[in-house]
Amino acid sequence: MSPKAVLPMDSYRLAQYTVTAPCYVCGGGNNFDAELCRHCFAPMALAHQASSQKIRPKMIAVLGASGAGKTVYLGMLTDMLSREASRLQLLARGAFSISLQQNTVAALARGRFPDKTPCEPDSWHWVHCQLRAPRQRKPLELIMPDMAGEALLEELDHPNSYPVVRAFLAKCSGVMILIDGSQLVEGVKQQDFFAMKMLTYLCDLDDHPKTGWLAKPVCLTFTKADECEACFENPAAYARRSAHGLWQHCQERFRYHEFFAAGVAGNCAYRQPTGKGRLRVPLRVEPRGIVEPFEWLVEQLKRQK
Amino acid sequence: MLSANRSLLENVWRMFGRTPATPLPETETPKPAPRADVGGLVEEMLDQGRYALLLRKQITGSLRATQLDRARQELGTSMAIVPAGDVFLEQPHLDDVDLPVGSGAKLVHIDEVFLDRYPVTNQAFRQFVDAGGYGQEALWDPEVWPGVANFVDTTGQPAPRYWSASRFPEGQANHPVVGVNWFEATAFARWSGKRLPTDPEWVKAASWPVAVNGANPAQRRYPWGDEMLADRANVWDANRGKTTPVDHYEAGRSPGGIYDLCGNAWEWTSTGFGAWDGCQYELDVPMRGLRGGAFDTYFDHQASCQFQSGEVQVARRHNIGFRCALGVCEIVPETIATNAIRQEVA
């Protein structure tokens, strides 16, 4: 092939560079072949996939303090829904959407929890999936990132330090806040305060009574509930007892909120592998209450239509 | 008659290491114990499933041959023998899940033992509850006496956690009893004249090691073979989400004829958790070993014969039950029983 024959193709590529591709999360312009948005580091694949589909994807945020169990929850949820067809059925869109599930399940199967999510947004896992309920014709398109707890805290304390968090939450249709139930049992209130901070942050973002966060679904889930069985028996009553500030806040401000409890490990212990620090490890994996909060959230999203 | 009665009862109580709280009457009185005659007491014990107690060497002398025969029949129906021999024990779930069975394992020898064919059912445990098992100090470890009063059901009655008014949930008579802690399991085992199995005994019964020509024993990953099959055990993929009757998975039996060794409910063993793991766990509270997986066990390998999980002794979980064991050397040899029957016939 002579060099001249290549020229028309290069020209075509140059033409593509003249048109910016907007990021699906922050709306910022990017080159058509960018892998991540240069403004917020969200995968550009989200924008490409969204533009090729008739249904516009909705976004759900899974938030929580560092160590609340966001990665494990999202990883298990996606694995359970892609494995079990009787309830909601999940189909991942794009290879990047399977990485979170893969990492989480591989770690749990080896008797470990997955590694901590790094603070850098370009290392976060994003899940873009199609969700289909039994006897429902129209599927739902969803985007859910696994954001680092430290990054969320930093954004709460110093708004705009993580543009991706702000941009994503501004576009979210619903939110799930994870609260470490085992810490509440021990009387540690950090998780309670984080959840309250997060809720006030959301209200500050958009407090329109009809379209803002006050009217959007907020799902509050106590994680690691296997360590406090009272969570499972009545999550709302447990919230009222153990996280009264949070419970009161939700009662006063959020029209659509619900408390749930979830657990993945039946029991945990600590190990000290050679060359590593003290590791908290699951002694067995028996998911409980993982799908229920998500189902509720999806039902609420349908109501929003 | 009365002396024989007293002798039997005394022997039974000696098994527990102490005499009953109410002293036995010296002379025959119009108001004896509910079943005053030996036959009645023995029949009651057989009806309660306490045949193992009657087969103890200290007791058999007080039994009629027909009673001994019935006790032996009960033993054969309810328990299966696990032959003496060597078994590998390992903890394959940490970083080495793909290694073949037997690598990095400890070889342990066990003596011949009987193991319950089925996990202890709600119906069987109800006998213990109705017989006032929660109130008999002799059955409980002294360390847990102050806590026994807290081992109550949803209505505050002494019973497994998820029962109501000392009654199991309707339609679950044949399901494994769950919501019992290690102490409750041990107390039941003592009451029925048995004990909890050790880890090696449990693993040997499930993995059925076969050693040929002195080589290391080859063991099964699951009681029926090396592959998890959805129709053989009640685990996550069976999609039931709750316990099933203990005899539901006939195809999942071990070669020795023991049901539910994989799935349905975890089973307490008498061994401490982590005993077979080279890498030490740091436990705030000591834990006991669990074996076999449950209906909500997500990963197949965690329901395999070799996988050990652990739980604190006082935990009363929705998916933990138990089964009992009985050392062959602990009961009267069959030949003696047979001789007794022959004598009666003669």
Kindly state whether residue A138 falls inside one of the protein's structural domains: yes
Q: A288, A75 in Cβ contact below 8 A? A: no
The reply to whether A272 and A144 lie within a common domain is yes
Q: How far is A133 from chain B (nearest CA, A)?
A: 18
**Are A71 and A49 found together in one domain?**
no
Top pLDDT among A93 and A276 is at A93
> If you average pLDDT over residues B125-148, what whole number do you get?
94
Same domain? For A66 and A23 the reply is no
Contact residues on chain B for A104, CB-CB shorter than 8 A = none
Question: Which of the two residues, B30 and A27, has the higher pLDDT score?
Answer: A27
pLDDT at residue B11 tops 80: no
The residue-averaged pLDDT of B21-47 equals 56
For B158-167, what is each residue's pLDDT tens digit?
999 999 999 9
Cα of A109 to nearest chain B Cα, Å:
7
> How many folded domains does chain A comprise?
2
Residue A4 within a domain: no
Instruction: Pick A28 or B315 by higher pLDDT.
Output: B315
Together in a domain, A282 and A134:
yes
Is B95 in Cβ contact with A267 (below 8 Å)?
Answer: no
Enter the pTM of the model.
0.87
**Is B302 in Cβ contact with A110 (below 8 Å)?**
no
Across-strand partners of B210? B218
Residues A273 and A203 in one domain: yes
Q: Which of B28, B22, B21 is nearest to B2 (CA)?
A: B28
If asked whether residues A71 and A105 sit together in one domain, one would say yes
Query: Is residue A68 situated within a structural domain?
Result: yes
Q: Does A18 touch chain B (CB under 8 A)?
A: no
Domain that holds residue A38: 16-55
The alpha carbon torsion through B211, B291, B289, B208 (nearest 10 deg) reads -10
pLDDT of residue B168: 96
Is B299–A108 a contact, with Cβ atoms under 8 angstroms apart? yes
DSSP symbols for A141-186 = EEEEEE--HHHHHHHHHSTTSSHHHHHHHHH-SEEEEEEEHHHHHT
Q: Do A47 and A65 belong together in one domain?
A: no
CATH number of B79-346: 3.90.1580.10
Q: Report, as an integer, the average pLDDT of A24-31.
A: 85
Q: If pLDDT is split at 50, 70 and 90, which confidence band does B135 have?
A: very high
- Whether pLDDT at B97 is above 70: no
Q: Which residue of B has its CA nearest to A79?
A: B298
- Residues on chain B touching A279 (C-beta within 8 angstroms): none
Name the more confident of B81 and A46. Answer: B81
Per-residue model confidence (pLDDT) at position A132: 87
Residue A3 within a domain: no
Give residue-wise pLDDT tens across range A207-254: 888 888 889 999 999 999 988 888 888 999 999 988 888 999 999 989
B52-74 confidence digits (pLDDT tens) = 999 998 888 888 888 889 999 99
B100's tokens? 């073949």
Both A37 and A105 in a single domain? no
**B95/A266 Cβ within 8 A:** no
Is residue B23's pLDDT more than 60? no
Contacts of B79 (CB under 8 A, 6+ apart): B114, B115, B116, B117, B326
ipTM comes to: 0.88
Residue A9 lies in a domain: no
